Amino acid sequence: ETGVTQTPRHLVMGMTNKKSLKCEQHLGHNAMYWYKQSAKKPLELMFVYNFKEQTENNSVPSRFSPECPNSSHLFLHLHTLQPEDSALYLCASSQPGESYNEQFFGPGTRLTVL
């Protein structure tokens, strides 16, 4: 498999559930990102990881908890979400150095919180 994959592609959860989103990249990149895209809004950067270390948390509520066990995998753990957290969650990766801005995105997970 190539590129950036995300699972699941669709997720429906209740406000009391705990779930996790998974992202895997097969590009040999060392930077990974989580973005959120709510309906009719621009993409919002949530978290940035560089060589497994979190380098950016864009004031994301603690009910979203990222995890980067290695440079190829990125998780977003979800708990006690709110209906307004329903959105498309996108993962991306890029190569360290001058190509940081050339990010490769996964297809996203469409999350619905009931």
Whichever of 35 and 64 has its CB closer to other proteins, that residue is 35
Q: How far is the CB of 114 from other proteins (least distance, A)?
A: 20
Answer for the pair 75, 67: CB distance below 8 angstroms, yes or no. Answer: yes
User: Which two tokens mark 42?
Assistant: 């621009």
Position 11 contacts other proteins (CB under 8 A):
no
Whichever of 80 and 95 has its CB closer to other proteins, that residue is 95
d(CA 91, CA 15): 22
What's the length of the chain? 114
DSSP 84: G
* Contact set with other proteins (CB under 8 A): 4, 31, 33, 42-43, 45, 48-50, 55-56, 88, 90-92, 94, 96-98, 100-108, 110
